[in-house]
Amino acid sequence: MENKKVLILCTGNSCRSIIGEAVLNAYLDGVDAYSSGVKASGKVNPNAKKVLQEEGIWKDEYHSKKIDKVLDIKFDLVVTVCDNAKESCPIFPKDVKVIHVGYEDPDGKNYSAFTKTLKLIKMELTPIVRMELGL
């Protein structure tokens, strides 16, 4: 059976959405997670990369990208993780469920904000996505 495809959408695609993509790919069987930004920064925040490396789930393929790079993928679920992305979320086909699970932006904060974001995404987002996809 083919894996379910999930898009984690944020504004800059440098912290929260990259962490969400990595967490879902590492801890949810049957899911291929992707991330993008409505106004992608083009870079991964070094602390986001570091927290994922320490968790042992960083992959070099993770990078900041604009939404047009993933629009040709048929997603089963789209998750916005910041209020701005929720408000400016592009229109997806009717059969794609779009949900919002917001997280505070750790960008510009100390490293502990990134570890907190990782923990929250791992504890909250993973079971929500599992339930939404019926896994």
- 26, 70, 89, 120: the catalytic one is 89
Percent residues over pLDDT 90 in the chain: 67
- 24, 51, 82, 118: the catalytic one is 82
Percent residues over pLDDT 70 in the chain: 91
Q: What is the CATH number of the domain that holds 28?
A: 3.40.50.2300
- 6, 8, 9, 10: the catalytic one is 10
Catalytic residue at 82?
Answer: yes
Catalytic residue at 15?
Answer: no
Q: Is the pLDDT of residue 129 over 70?
A: yes
The number of domains in the chain is: 1
Q: Is the pLDDT of residue 83 over 80?
A: no
Q: Report pTM.
A: 0.92
Structural domain containing residue 43 = 4-133
Q: Tell me what percent of the chain is helix, strand and coil, each rounded to the nearest 5.
A: 40, 15, 45
